[in-house]
């Protein structure tokens, strides 16, 4: 894909060495790349673990705007290439288990000696310090540990995971934000930074209101299915052809809902006159409303309620939402021609600058696609590069 020079992005000129894999790290470096940074993704010969699941759907979304090289970091010459990259870099990102890169000779202290201005960001499950620091983790593990899973699902059913990897996404955004502010600070001080972002910390942070309430009252949040415990009616309701989510949080919205659906009796019922009353009688209120909502088709009911300013939405599938004219008008859907896979749809980073989302300069790299190119930029001769490839220290993708 051609580089759009006219839309370089606010991080144009920032060089990033990306030793991350799977999801949290690659999303962080993708965000930096989307903002214009030059990202070099370093993979082992086996490649990122997410090249294979879902036919690569994760990988192609999380690794755009990067160039990719493949190295054997257990060999001295492979490690030397990363050190050369780091010496010229502004940012170094990794998400291995704490201690792993130190054992390879690529830890923070080593990189900082080469490049005191480096911003070295480590993303891990549990952080660089603490008893759990070397404990492996994936997104569902953190959902289970943090209290998120315990509060998600129907009251009478076991806990369930949130399907999208939201902790990974939020961790990536925290890491990218930390890197961005460190770049600003470096302009003032000339000093680099060591950043430590842990998935568990991010997950607990997302649960902060529930932690505060628990410490005050001793009460644990209960699973509430689709409902919002602090308001009612605020949950999914049945329709004639599916489900609709209604969020009538205020007294005014409640009255508007009743008028739109001809529910004068409910409107006058003193048990439902206040927000607190509706919360206390949530279940019986939901039963009464469900009898009415089942008479409508989802789209018709959505239109009817939106016309009186009641927040609601037909519960859509992925296939339905990407066909919505509004979503298509936003320009975040992007069709990319990817080798082997053909034309695929990906989603752009949803941050608009001057009226539009970031430009995709490169699709996600094939394994070792830019090895020769990057090594030439580091000063290796063609003969030296071929020797590295012949000795299986580096891999160059060949169609």
Residue 383 DSSP SS3 = helix
Beta strands in the chain (DSSP E): 15-19, 38-43, 66-71, 91-94, 119-124, 193-198, 234-239, 242-247, 312-314, 333-338, 342-347, 394-395
Pairing mode of beta strands 312-314, 342-347 = unpaired
DSSP states of 314-334 as a string? Answer: E---HHHHTT-HHHHHHT-EE
- Whether 168 is a known active-site residue: answer yes
| Residue 16 contacts residue 32 (beta carbons within 8 Å) | yes
**Spatial CA neighbour of 73 closest among 19, 138, 121:** 19
Tokens, residue 209: 């209101």
* Dist. CA 20–CA 123, nearest whole Å: 9
| Residue 231 contacts residue 249 (beta carbons within 8 Å) | yes
Q: Is residue 233 reached through a cis peptide bond, with omega within 30 degrees of 0 on the bond before it?
A: yes
| Residue 385 contacts residue 359 (beta carbons within 8 Å) | no
* Dist. CA 169–CA 285, nearest whole Å: 36
Give the max Cα distance, the chain.
Answer: 85
Catalytic residue among 34, 72, 90, 168: 168
* Dist. CA 35–CA 358, nearest whole Å: 7
Count of alpha carbons within 13 Å of 253, Cβ hemisphere only?
17
- Which residues are known to be catalytic? 168
């Amino acid at each position: 894909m051609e580089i759009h020079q006219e839309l370089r992005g606010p991080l144009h000129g920032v060089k990033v060495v990306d030793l991350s894999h799977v999801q949290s790290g690659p999303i962080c470096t993708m965000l930096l790349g989307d903002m214009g940074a030059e990202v070099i993704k370093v993979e082992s010969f086996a490649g990122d673990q997410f090249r294979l699941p879902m036919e690569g759907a994760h990988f192609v979304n999380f690794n755009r705007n990067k160039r990719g090289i493949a190295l054997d970091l257990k060999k001295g010459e492979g490690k030397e290439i990363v050190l050369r990259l780091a010496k010229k870099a502004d940012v170094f990102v990794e998400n291995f288990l704490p201690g792993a890169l130190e054992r390879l000779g690529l830890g923070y202290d080593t990189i900082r000696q080469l490049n005191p201005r480096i911003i070295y960001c480590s993303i891990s499950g549990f952080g660089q310090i603490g008893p759990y620091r070397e404990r492996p983790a994936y997104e569902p593990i953190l959902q289970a540990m943090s209290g998120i899973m315990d509060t998600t699902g129907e009251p009478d059913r076991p806990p369930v995971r949130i399907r999208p990897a939201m902790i990974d996404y939020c961790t990536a955004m925290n890491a990218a934000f930390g890197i961005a502010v460190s770049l600003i600070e470096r302009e003032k001080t000339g000093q680099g930074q060591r950043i430590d972002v842990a998935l568990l910390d991010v997950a607990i942070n997302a649960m902060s209101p529930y932690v505060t309430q628990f410490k005050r009252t001793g009460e644990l949040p209960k699973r509430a299915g689709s409902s919002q415990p602090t308001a009612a009616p605020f949950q999914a309701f049945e329709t004639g052809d599916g489900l609709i989510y209604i969020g009538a949080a205020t007294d005014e919205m409640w009255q508007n809902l009743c008028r739109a659906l001809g529910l004068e009796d409910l409107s006058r019922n003193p048990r439902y006159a206040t927000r607190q009353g509706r919360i206390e009688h949530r279940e019986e209120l939901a039963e009464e409303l469900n009898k009415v909502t089942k008479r409508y088709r989802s789209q018709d009911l959505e239109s009817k309620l939106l016309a009186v300013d009641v927040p609601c939405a037909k519960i859509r599938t992925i296939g339905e939402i990407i066909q919505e004219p509004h979503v298509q008008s936003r320009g975040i859907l992007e069709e990319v021609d990817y080798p082997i896979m053909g034309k695929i749809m990906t989603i752009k980073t949803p941050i608009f600058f001057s009226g539009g989302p970031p430009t995709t300069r490169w699709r996600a790299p094939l394994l070792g696609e830019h090895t020769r190119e990057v090594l030439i930029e580091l000063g290796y001769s063609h003969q030296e590069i071929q020797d590295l490839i012949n000795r299986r220290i580096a891999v160059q993708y060949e169609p």
